[in-house]
Amino acid sequence: MELETKKIIDLHKIDTRLREIEEEKGDLPEIIREQQDNITDFNDKVSSYNNEIDNLNKLKSDYNVNISDFSLKLETYNKQMDSVQNNKEYDALLIEIDHINKENDELTEKVLEVDQKVDDLKNSIEEFSQKIEELSSKLEVNEEELKEKSVEFSVEEKLLIKDKESLLSKINDKDFISSYQDEDKEMVASIYSGSCSSCYTSLPAQTLVDVKKGLSLIACPNCSIYLYFDEE
């Protein structure tokens, strides 16, 4: 068997075993990633809502300052009512007082709206915090379970990854390696019971003979994937 062909076959065997290890870990890695993403999203929302609450409280403070100013103006106008000289002055003061009262009512309504928004945001933050706590608890359990499972394969997995990196650096066909590393594209498959293990098509006798020689990679006549004969 040519050395280059053997390297590619060994590379595929390593990746096959790495996939088997991942499968033996079950769905835990994906579940953990999803839980971590959800916790991050909830924390981002909590942070965003807290910032929004800060901005609303600043806005409420501005409203309250204006309301205090209106109260002082009303107090001044009411005192002036006692010293009016004629109906014209009286009517002018009434107009000013009515205007101040209207603006005061509008600001008071805005303050109530701000308070309601703040309450709603705080309730949402409480809900998110509860979800974060629940998810964190589940995440801790799942991470511990995955850790226990990973211990069994950790040494083997590290050695396989090291061997894979070594092979990738030694294979001369860089175009093949570039295509091989495309996760959406399977490049190599073994022969199983006279059939391609990728498309399960029974292979012609001559194809089986050529593959067993191992002089070069032979493509499956049906799916075009490169084949090799696994003596193991």
More confident residue, 77 or 44: 44
How far is 11 from 17, CA to CA, in rounded Å? 10
The neighbouring-strand residues paired with 228 are 190
Mean predicted confidence (pLDDT) in 90-111: 91
Domain boundaries, the chain: 26-171, 186-228
The set of long-range contacts for 202-209, using a CB threshold of 8 Å and a minimum separation of 24, is 203/227
Mean predicted confidence (pLDDT) in 219-224: 91
pLDDT band at 172 (very low <50, low <70, confident <90, very high): confident
* pLDDT score at 232: 57
Q: Model's pTM, two decimal places? A: 0.54
Residue indicated by tokens 């098509």: 201
For the cut 80, the answer to whether the pLDDT of residue 152 exceeds it is no
Short-list 179, 177, 191, 184, CA closest to 220: 191
- Domain 26-171 is in which class? mainly alpha
Instruction: Give me Rg for the CA atoms of the chain.
Output: 37
